[in-house]
Amino acid sequence: MDKEYVGFAALPNQLHRKSIKKGFDFTLMVAGESGLGKSTLINSLFLTNLYEDRQLPEASARLTQTLTIERRGVEIEEGGIKVKLTLVDTPGFGDSVDCSDCWLPVVRFIEEQFEQYLRDESGLNRKNIQDSRVHCCLYFISPFGRGLRPLDVAFLRAVHEKVNIIPVIGKADALMPRETQALKQKIRDQLKEEEINIYQFPDCDSDEDEDFKRQDAEMKESIPFAVVGSCEVVRDKGTRPVRGRRYSWGTVEVENPHHCDFLNLRRMLVQTHLQDLKEVTHDLLYEGYRARCLQSLARPGARDRASRSKLSRRSTTEIPLPMLPLAETEKLIREKDEELRRMQEMLEKMQAQVQQSQAQGEQSAAL
Amino acid sequence: MSKGLPETRTDAAMSELVPEPRPKPAVPMKPVSINTNLLGYIGIDTIIEQMRKKTMKTGFDFNIMVVGQSGLGKSTLVNTLFKSQVSRKASSWNREEKIPKTVEIKAIGHVIEEGGVKMKLTVIDTPGFGDQINNENCWEPIEKYINEQYEKFLKEEVNIARKKRIPDTRVHCCLYFISPTGHSLRPLDLEFMKHLSKVVNIIPVIAKADTMTLEEKSEFKQRVRKELEVHGIEFYPQKEFDEDLEDKTENDKIRESMPFAVVGSDKEYQVNGKRVLGRKTPWGIIEVENLHHCEFALLRDFVIRTHLQDLKEVTHNIHYETYRAKRLNDNGGLPPVSVDTEGSHDSNP
């Protein structure tokens, strides 16, 4: 036996086996105005039909519709690995005539998941924490506009520090190649101008080969991904069956990299970065939320600082200033106050009882 | 009821009301018979040619407004319709202008000539419509503009010394661009059309329709038509203004295929040895004027080749008259405006 061989090189295998047993859960949020092909793309990505029971509301119904958050769960198994995928949908977003603040329910939802996790983490039984935090938000941008619209900017600014954003151009078969490039560049410029932080795909290791590095660089340059979704298979005679959309002038192939970035998105989202998205959510975004939350609870002057910092629209991330909406911290403070008060009441009651029994004891002793 | 006049009989046949008794004319008219066998050629059919010559000399006005969210290809479509750069099209993506905070109205006029006929075309653009986060009442500046043009015309009409030809700036046609979501109309679309269909001729079009397959297109169109019907929104050509059976049949066919799903382009490509206007994608070339690809040709024929004059007439005889009646009722009759001694601008009413 080789004395220098300890054996912990088998560790990755052990982790692998453990994670297979445990399964894998992932929460993906899809956002963007209706009609951009979100549902079709999700069905295409995960080869499911998650939206078959969906009822599309008519315009008149949407006149008074407010934004709702819908969750759909699906279990996908592939190669022995079980993935519990939760999809969060935001029907109604961007539909109304007046969309002011229509992103607030989404922000609140994301924060509620963080809050739930924070509570679970601080609780007693931590074995079975359900992670319902949103790991990634696919934001759909219209191919018909001239880049990001005011609503897009407002939404992205509201959520970019709370969730991993992957911007996507929906229904990209509306664009000619030159238009696609121009639109992507415009969106990238706008994201930089508005200081919106989207999910940064990590750099590949320096020891990867040149081909891989080039491919990786190409993929990063194609962000935002211009996608086309389809669950229909086009069978034309003479050509092999492909998933795509058939038009009178030709067929768009979903999995053809010259036609759209679907393959890139699928590769980067599902095949290579699923774990990284979860890690960034936990290590960066959730920790940021947790730090802000606890800081504001701990320091009495924090509330003032919170209100002052809200005035400055762009905050640097050097020192995480408490940027929680006041209602959030208020709620937590109130709850802690409630607990304190209850405990005080109990103490007083106990003290009263003790005094009473002491007095009685003295009385009976006197008698 | 006067007897012997063939006209009264036909009048009674056409209307369902009992015709009012005609007052006896001061100079009684001799009965007129329709003479069917002419002894020779009179030449009254040359009136068509005379009208044509006059129109060619004076030219005519046409004012078209485009409304829709930015990026739906409004300017490109108008340029394609009139085969010239008549719209305020920004230099594609390097647009330095920001989206305006309120809806602006920008009117640009061009003179186009074809076959000796001159048309003074005015394209009225409405940048900023539907682009904000809060689009409440964003149609109001548009409604105001349309009414202002009616008001201008009314003031001229009511003048004591009227101009020979009143300049016509009234909006004859409003192309409303529907986003090709494939779902249904958006609430803003409904609101706009509800408010403006009574004031101007609205022609809804489905913009950038190269993103829908044939089935998606026809389903979407059906849904849109149904929604408009449910809300009592009548787009041009309105059913109530069909004059006779011939009109009705022709217009019914058009109404059944509206809104037209269009694609616009100002670039030409080589297809089967011909230069065609289109869009070139890796999966094929979309030909703008190919009826198998999109309905641009139908829209063009409809707006320009068959219904141009009717659009103007409906605007003048119906929308403008409605406005005028309302104004006269409100004011108890408009007093004539002071004499206008400016030079007359040549245009057709």
> CB distance A247–B70 less than 8 Å?
no
Q: What is the pLDDT of residue A174?
A: 94
Q: Does A184 touch chain B (CB under 8 A)?
A: no
Pairing of strands A242-247, A250-253: antiparallel
User: Residue A151: which of B133, B208, B282 has the nearest Cβ?
Assistant: B133
**A294: enclosing H helix or E strand:** helix A287-298
CATH 1.10.3720.10 fits A16-49+65-202+210-297, yes or no: no
User: Residue A249: which of B132, B207, B284 has the nearest Cβ?
Assistant: B284
Closest CA to A132 of A119, A113, A150: A113
Tell me which of A249, A256, A259 to substitute to probe the interface with B (most B C-beta atoms closer than 10 Å). Answer: A249
Q: Compare all CA atoms of chain A with the CA of B267 and give the residue at the minimum distance.
A: A176
HEC string of chain B equals CCCCCHHHHHHHHHCCCCCCCCCCCCCCCCCCCCCCCCCCCCCHHHHHHHHHHHHHHHCEEEEEEEECCCCCCHHHHHHHHCCCCCCCCCCCCCCCCCCCCCCCCEEEEEEEEECCEEEEEEEEECCCCCCCCECCCCCHHHHHHHHHHHHHHHHHHHCCCCCCCCCCCCCCEEEEEECCCCCCCCHHHHHHHHHHCCCCCEEEEECCHHHCCHHHHHHHHHHHHHHHHHCCCCCCCCHHHCCCHHHHHHHHHHHHHCCEECCCCCCEEEECCEEEEEEEECCEEEECCCCCCCCHHHHHHHHHHHCHHHHHHHHHHHHHHHHHHHHHHHHCCCCCCCCCCCCCCCCCC
B105: closest CA of chain A, how far (Å):
20
> CB distance A145–B92 less than 8 Å?
no
Q: What is the pLDDT of residue B35?
A: 61
Residue, of A77 and B235, whose pLDDT is higher: B235
Model confidence at B349, pLDDT cuts 50, 70, 90, reads: very low
Closest CA to A291 of A114, A113, A112: A114
% of chain A at pLDDT higher than 70: 86
User: Residue B136: which of A98, A149, A252 has the nearest Cβ?
Assistant: A98
Which chain A residues have a beta carbon less than 8 Å from that of B71? 142, 144-146
In the predicted model, is pLDDT for residue B338 greater than 60? Answer: no
- The ipTM (two decimal places) reads 0.79
Q: What is the pLDDT of residue A147?
A: 92
% of chain B at pLDDT higher than 70: 81
> CB distance A142–B71 less than 8 Å?
yes
Q: Compare all CA atoms of chain A with the CA of B192 and give the residue at the minimum distance.
A: A97
Model confidence at B340, pLDDT cuts 50, 70, 90, reads: very low
The β-bridge partners of B322 are: none
**Who's near B65: CB < 8 A, 6+ residues apart?**
B123, B124, B125, B126, B142, B146, B171, B173, B174, B175, B200
In tens, the pLDDT along A7-28 reads: 777 788 887 777 777 778 899 9
Which chain B residues have a beta carbon less than 8 Å from that of A38? none
Q: Does A146 touch chain B (CB under 8 A)?
A: yes
Q: Does A144 touch chain B (CB under 8 A)?
A: yes
Mean pLDDT (chain B, rounded) = 84
Per-residue pLDDT averaged across B52-69, rounded? 88
Q: What is the pLDDT of residue B116?
A: 83
Instruction: For residue A64, give the DSSP letter.
Output: T
Cβ pairs A/B, distance under 8 A: 128
User: Residue B292: which of A144, A174, A248 has the nearest Cβ?
Assistant: A248
For chain A, the domains span 16-49+65-202+210-297
Which chain B residues have a beta carbon less than 8 Å from that of A176? 279-281
Model confidence at B37, pLDDT cuts 50, 70, 90, reads: low
Q: Which residue has the tokens 């913009």?
A: B207
**Partner B, chain A 61-80, Cβ-Cβ below 8 Å:** 62-63
% of chain A at pLDDT higher than 90: 38
Per-residue pLDDT averaged across A178-200, rounded? 94
Q: What is the pLDDT of residue B281?
A: 94
pTM above 0.90, yes or no: no
Q: What is the pLDDT of residue A274?
A: 85
Our measurement of the distance from residue B263's CA atom to the centroid of its chain's CA atoms, rounded to an integer in Å, reads: 19
A308: closest CA of chain B, how far (Å):
26
3-class DSSP state of A24: strand
Q: Does A250 touch chain B (CB under 8 A)?
A: yes
In tens, the pLDDT along A196-253 reads: 999 988 877 777 788 878 877 888 888 999 999 998 888 877 778 889 999 999 999 9
Q: What does the alpha-carbon distance between residue B341 and residue B161 come to, in Å, rounded to a whole number?
A: 8
HEC string of B9-46 equals HHHHHHCCCCCCCCCCCCCCCCCCCCCCCCCCCCCHHH
Q: What is the pLDDT of residue B101?
A: 79
> CB distance A35–B181 less than 8 Å?
yes
> CB distance B134–A142 less than 8 Å?
no
> CB distance B213–A247 less than 8 Å?
yes
Q: What is the pLDDT of residue A326?
A: 55
Domains of chain B by start residue, with CATH: 58-88+99-263+294-331 (3.40.50.300)
In tens, the pLDDT along B70-128 reads: 999 999 999 999 887 777 664 443 344 567 778 999 999 999 888 888 889 999 999 99
Model confidence at A154, pLDDT cuts 50, 70, 90, reads: very high
In tens, the pLDDT along A297-314 reads: 876 655 555 555 554 444
Q: What is the pLDDT of residue B16?
A: 44
In tens, the pLDDT along A238-248 reads: 778 889 999 99
In tens, the pLDDT along A261-280 reads: 999 999 888 877 888 899 99
% of chain B at pLDDT higher than 90: 59
